[in-house]
Amino acid sequence: MKYTYERKINYYETDKMGVVHHSNYIRFLEEARCYWLESLGMPFASFEENDVTIPVLEVNCTYKHHVTFGDTLLINVIVKEYSGVRMTVSYEVLNKETNQPVIFAETKHCFTNRNLKPINLKKYIPEYDEKFRKLKAEN
């Protein structure tokens, strides 16, 4: 199941050339990921309440086209890989007006306890593990 997060570009996110600074896309991906989890009934705070953290292990971005102040992004989010211990989330970021690809990205994560020791989500929050497995199966 694909989730789409819509986000309008703010002026302060642009650089001297008037385009969105490349580092801001990482923030946009995190925003999309947090809203996606919330839409699935798994708000980020609920992981922390269950002593689970989801650190980012890796980020890969391929920049295709720039956007500027006032443009709106559509960020499509899907689970690419999921093992219970690790997860890869894939993103397709489009310019809403032109439908032109802006970036393609992936973030790799693991699930840990509060001491940052890797855990299997199935043992900590079985219902979330089941949701992620279903999402992965759909893709």
CB 136 within 8 A of CB 82: yes
For residue range 30-62, list pLDDT tens digits in order. Answer: 999 999 999 999 999 999 999 999 999 999 999
In the chain, how many domains are there? 1
Residues paired with 69 in a beta bridge: none
- Model pTM? 0.94
Torsion, CA 82, CA 85, CA 86, CA 89, rounded to 10: 50
Q: What is the CATH number of the domain that holds 109?
A: 3.10.129.10
Cα separations (Å) of 25 from 6, 40, 77?
A: 13, 22, 14
**Closest Cα partner for 31 from 12, 49, 5?**
5
Domain span at residue 121? 3-138
